[in-house]
């Protein structure tokens, strides 16, 4: 039975990773729209705070998991900080050791806690080598929504549960310039090599798009090596800009929110763009949308998949960290022409 939510306060736990934390946003938007009196506090790593700046009714509490909140004693300190607020229920959207410990503290204090069902058995069946059960599993957004439904706050996940474009800082405006042509974000990196398109092919795609003189291209990445690679890639071209290391995370979100298209691996940038209703083309290597991590509200036709006829063990894992022998070049089975054709199709 749905609650009226007047003065109710839910604590939401999701510590990492960036993509998984970003996937909470459409669900929280649905919650705050349906239950305007509901207060939500998200506890997560401090870097993730900008994800929630623009959701009414949502506050953020930083978990310093490598600092004062490290270990059991640290988690007790975190609990003591959180319990100062009048929390009525806890939604554990992570279901790992740390969140289990925090859950136990709240449960002992008489607070109702509901944990996400990650569907681990069916994910093992989807990713195993033998007797693989290849079928679509419940999307992570739906798994998050199930937690809130069990707490008494059911929601409908509509495709309009997205954030509006953000106001750009002067630094972002300077980088974006005049909006004279469609803007494309390209995020060529991922946490694991099995999810990354060959870099030379990415270069070819950027060269082709640049030569059409129809688009402005923004390159997104994270680590130091990635920043250097993207800077080298962008430097010879007009209207190709390296964003990595140039903007704060909040400013990156501002830029992403104004894109016309994001081209991404199975990685966080796909979810960041989808949260603003930006069209997203995703490239999939040893992972697959069936595992439930497809960007919110995106057409499945925009997922470009490695060839399962040639690589039948796909998906080899949920996160892309397992690359069987002979699967090192799995993403080469996605032709650059297919990617370019999809870009043209989506931006028509």
Tens-digit pLDDT profile for residues 62-92: 999 999 999 999 999 999 999 999 999 999 9
How high is the pLDDT of residue 5?
A: 61
Question: Is the pLDDT reported for residue 2 higher than 70?
Answer: no
Distance CA 192, CA 96 (A): 21
Q: What is the pLDDT of residue 145?
A: 99
How much is the pLDDT for 3? 61
**Is residue 115 within a helix (H) or strand (E), and if so which, with residue range?**
strand 112-115
pLDDT beyond 80 at 99: yes
With a cut of 80, say whether residue 274 has pLDDT above it.
yes
What is the average pLDDT across 282-288? 99
Residue 4 has a pLDDT of 60
Question: What is the per-residue pLDDT for 316?
Answer: 99
The answer to whether the beta carbons of residues 243 and 218 sit under 8 Å apart is: yes
**For position 325, what pLDDT does the model report?**
98
What gap in Å lies between CA 218 and CA 186, rounded to an integer? 6
Surface-to-core class of residue 235, CB atoms within 10 Å of its CB (0-12 exposed, 13-18 middle, 19+ buried)? exposed
Kindly report, residue by residue over 173-232, the tens digit of the pLDDT. Answer: 999 988 789 999 999 999 999 999 999 999 999 999 999 999 999 999 977 888 999 999
Residues 6+ apart with CB under 8 A from 191: 17, 267, 319, 320, 321
Mean pLDDT, the chain, rounded, equals 96
79 CB contacts (<8 Å, ≥6 apart)? 102, 105, 106
pLDDT > 90 fraction of the chain, expressed in percent and rounded: 93
Average pLDDT over residues 319-344: 98
pLDDT tens for 106-160 read 999 999 999 999 999 999 999 999 999 999 999 999 999 999 999 999 999 999 9
Q: How many helices (H) and strands (E) does the chain have?
A: 12, 11
Domains in the chain, CATH or no CATH each: 9-150 (3.40.50.2000), 177-346 (3.40.50.2000)
For the cut 90, the answer to whether the pLDDT of residue 265 exceeds it is yes
**pLDDT-based confidence at residue 295 (cuts at 50, 70, 90):** very high
The strand ranges marked E within 48-182 are: 58-62, 89-92, 112-115
Cβ atoms 21, 47 nearer than 8 A: no
Q: Quick one: what percent of the chain has pLDDT higher than 70?
A: 98
Question: Pairing relation of β-strands 9-13 and 39-44?
Answer: parallel
């Amino acid at each position: 039975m749905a609650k009226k939510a007047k003065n109710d306060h839910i604590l939401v736990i999701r510590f990492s990773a960036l993509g998984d934390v970003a996937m909470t946003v459409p669900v929280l938007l649905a919650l705050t729209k349906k239950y305007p009196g509901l207060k939500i506090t998200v506890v997560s790593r401090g870097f993730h705070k900008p994800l929630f700046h623009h959701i009414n009714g949502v506050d953020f509490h930083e978990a310093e998991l490598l600092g004062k909140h490290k270990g059991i004693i640290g988690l007790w300190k975190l609990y003591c900080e959180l319990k100062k607020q009048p929390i009525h229920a806890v939604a554990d959207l992570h279901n790992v050791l740390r969140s289990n410990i925090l859950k136990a503290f709240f449960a002992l204090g008489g607070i109702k806690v509901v944990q996400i069902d990650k569907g681990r058995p069916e994910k093992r069946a989807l990713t195993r080598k033998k007797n693989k059960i290849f079928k679509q599993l419940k999307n992570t957004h739906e798994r998050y929504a199930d937690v809130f439904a069990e707490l008494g706050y059911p929601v409908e996940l509509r495709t309009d549960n997205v954030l509006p474009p953000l106001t750009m800082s002067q630094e972002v405006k300077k980088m974006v310039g005049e909006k004279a042509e469609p803007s494309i974000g390209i995020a060529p990196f991922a946490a694991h090599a099995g999810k990354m398109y060959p870099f030379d092919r990415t270069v070819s795609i950027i060269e082709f798009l640049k030569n059409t003189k129809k688009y402005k291209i923004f390159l997104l990445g994270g680590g130091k090596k990635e920043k250097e690679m993207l800077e080298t890639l962008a430097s010879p071209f007009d209207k190709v800009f390296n964003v990595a290391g140039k903007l704060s995370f909040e400013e990156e979100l501002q830029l992403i929110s104004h894109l016309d298209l994001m081209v991404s691996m199975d990685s966080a940038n796909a979810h960041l763009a989808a949260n603003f209703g930006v069209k997203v083309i995703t490239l999939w290597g040893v992972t697959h949308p069936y595992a439930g991590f497809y960007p919110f509200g995106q057409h499945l036709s925009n997922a470009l998949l490695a060839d399962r006829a040639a690589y039948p063990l796909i998906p080899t894992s949920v996160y892309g960290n397992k690359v069987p022998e002979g699967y090192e070049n799995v993403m080469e089975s996605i032709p650059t022409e297919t990617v370019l054709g999809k870009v043209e199709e989506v931006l028509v």
